A and B are shown apart, each in its own frame.
Chain A
Amino acid sequence: MASTLAQLVVDGLGMGLVYVLLASGINLIIAISGILFIAYGQFYMLGAYILWGLVVLLKVPFFISLCVATVVPAMLGGVIYRLIFQRIQSMQRQFLNGIVASIGLMVLIGQAALLAFGTSSRGVPPVFTGMLNVGVVSISFDKVVLIMLAIVVLLGLHFLLQKTNVGRAMRAVSFNPDVAALQGVNSSRIYLGAMVVGCALAGFAGGAMSPMFGVSPQMGMTTLLVLLVVVLGGIGSMTGAIIAGLILGLTLSFGQYFISGGLAQIFFFIVIGLIIFFRPGGLLGQPAEEMPL
């Protein structure tokens, strides 16, 4: 019994961390570059597929594959920013046009991946075998390692944002791009950076968690759900994203086990809707706004 509980917790943490990673990544892109990057989920999928391709097909060691799975989506994101979004950002209608471009990219990448990899789901073998025994519970060692990895990456992100110049510049731009420009911040480089880091996070999440959750073409469709997590946590708030993501992961894990079916999902969304209704700034944001429209 305790083992099952522990299992659920670990799975929940794992799932939650995926959402935290994804939420953090898209948080960066939205808060800093101001792009509602709906295609984001596809980078998560790409990371997973790259890892699968390398590990399963080419027998490349896991950690090297993970690095590739992180870097390739990041670079792709950077290229996409330079080619497409940099141009759109100088437009008056950047927000709406950005959405259209993102939707186009979502379909493009999704369909391309479908063509390249086929429609069936794949599995990735666990990195480590063996179980970890802590007291009466036993959890698979593999999952623990992956969770640790994710936490390390998140800490790295925190370090990047808080302690490095680049990170400080990013935060400045997210608060007020005009003032940041006045202080000599090259905003288009920062936007590019945000995109690259954000997509790196997505690729990493896809690759790292693939032993736990498998690989499938539909993985990219989670973007809208991730957006909800971001809003729940408060756009631009890393702490909020962490809390919201973890809550989501744990809820899904326990929810899938104890209750099943559409009713639970409906209930779940209603709860999200209510939370956002009463706290539009997210769990950590402001209560009902006094902002003039």
Chain B
Amino acid sequence: MDNLRKKCRFNRNNLRSGKLIGLFILAIILVLVPVVVHNPYYIHLLIMVSMNAVLAMTFILLLRTGLITMAIAGFWGIGAYASALLAVRLHLSFWLALPASTVITGIIALLLGYLLVRRGGIGFVIETLVFAFIIVLVFGTFDVFGGYVGIYNIPRPDPISLPFLAPIEFTSKTPYYYLMLFLVLIVVLVFSAFYTAWTGRAWRAIGLSPRLAESLGVNIFRYRLLAFIIAAAVAGLMGSFFAHYYGAIIPSTFGPYKTLYVQVYAILGGVNFAILGPIIGTLLMTIASEFLRISKEVEPIVTSLIVILLVMFLPDGIMGLIRRGQRPQSPAKNITRVAGWIRAFLSTTNSDSRDRK
């Protein structure tokens, strides 16, 4: 993004207005979709794409700072369960439960992150994986969460009155769609704000070279913790929506495999594009699996084949195809760094276990 701005300094105004017009048109298209498309199934698809895209964005957020997280689905689940419990047991309105569960998820992330983010590297990945396992077990074991049957009869959002419009009731998929659009918009705005401000630069610095960033005065722990909390809170937000959209939730939805799928969407989209990448990746994968749906059983096979082919032939993801000209080399070294960590970590562990028979 910085490159874009600098190189086009003289054309900045032109580019800005070009981008704005594009966004404006996109916004109009998105808003008009339910008017044109009447099949609720497609509306449902768009809602799910949006949700998964946002989850993918949280993965990229942490990846920027050099952390690979397995906890995405876990926080998604915490948000869902928190919201469900607030609504079902405490009879809170959705409109209160939504922000409340986001905050709750954020607080849990603060506590958890405080411990886990210190580790960094492989330790972090494994610890978040352990967390992912534990949280599903917790949801399934304790009756307060409804056990393996889960929580059902989660109430729809109360009808909401917007100025100039009749009260909107959540009886069809369309209101949910607009709600999701709105939430996505907020998330994208918040992410953009962080990315373009100093915080985003610090994150990128940490991801590219933690040692260097630290020697320049960047408090790695604090920035990573911040990213962790934001990612978790956003996932929790999506979880809350999910709970009230589906009306029922079960523990197994929120297991570590969901996180793996989200990661696939993000990586296929292109890890260098924090917002567009996840959107494109999720969109493409969902469309592919939809329109190649020959039969229910064969579909995963086809989809996974596509995944494998894509990753083999598009190493920088789909967005990597769009080279903006100013990037003769893709700024890809951060991932090589992670591989370098693994190697370094392995060699250190190896040299300690000389007792290898």
Contact = CB atoms under 8 A, between A and B. Distances in A.
Interface of A: 30-31, 34, 38, 84, 87-88, 91-97, 99-101, 103-108, 110-112, 114-115, 158, 161-162, 174-177, 224, 227-228, 231, 234-240, 261-263, 265-266, 269-270, 272-273, 276-277, 280-282, 284-286, 289, 291-293
Interface in B287-326: 297-298, 300-301, 303-305, 307-308, 311-312, 315-316
Given A228-B126, A231-B122, A231-B126, A92 B343 contact: no
Interface-centre pick from B119, B315, B316 (highest chain A CB count, 10 A): B315
A227 B129 contact: yes
A108 B307 CA distance: 10
Contacts of B338: 95-96
Given A112-B301, A231-B126, A293-B210, A93 B315 contact: yes
B57 to A, nearest CB: 16
Given A93-B336, A96-B271, A263-B141, A239 B356 contact: yes
Given A96-B271, A224-B129, A235-B349, 12 more contacts: A31-B350, A34-B343, A92-B333, A93-B336, A108-B308, A228-B129, A235-B345, A236-B346, A236-B353, A269-B137, A273-B130, A277-B119
Contacts of B307: 100-101, 103-104, 107
Interface of A, secondary structure class, is: helix
Interface-centre pick from A84, A97, A284, A291 (highest chain B CB count, 10 A): A97
Contact of A281 (B210, B344, B349): B349
Contact of A235 (B119, B122, B220, B335): B122
A162 B141 CA distance: 45
B260 A95 contact: no
Given A115-B297, A291-B345, A99 B267 contact: yes
A285 B311 contact: no
Given A103-B261, A107-B303, A282 B349 contact: yes
Contacts of B131: 273
A217 to B, nearest CB: 12
A272 B127 CA distance: 9
Contacts of A236: 346, 349-350, 353
Interface in B117-131: 119-123, 126-127, 129-131
Contact of A100 (B140, B264, B350, B356): B264
Contacts of B58: none
Interface string B14-44: 0000000000000000000000000000000
B212 to A, nearest CB: 10
Nearest to A115: B297
Interface residues of B, number: 66
A111 B297 CA distance: 8
Interface of B: 115, 119-123, 126-127, 129-131, 133-134, 137-138, 140-142, 210-211, 214, 220, 256, 260-261, 263-264, 267-268, 271, 297-298, 300-301, 303-305, 307-308, 311-312, 315-316, 330, 332-333, 335-336, 338-339, 341-353, 355-357
Contacts of B342: 34, 95
Contact of A93 (B129, B210, B308, B332): B332
A118 B335 CA distance: 39
Contact of B301 (A38, A111, A263): A111
Given A96-B271, A224-B129, A262-B137, A281 B335 contact: no
A87 B311 CA distance: 10
A290 to B, nearest CB: 10
A280 B308 CA distance: 32
Q: Ordered nearest first, which 10 A-B pairs have the shortest CB separation?
A: A262-B141, A104-B307, A108-B304, A237-B353, A107-B304, A280-B123, A293-B210, A273-B130, A104-B308, A95-B339
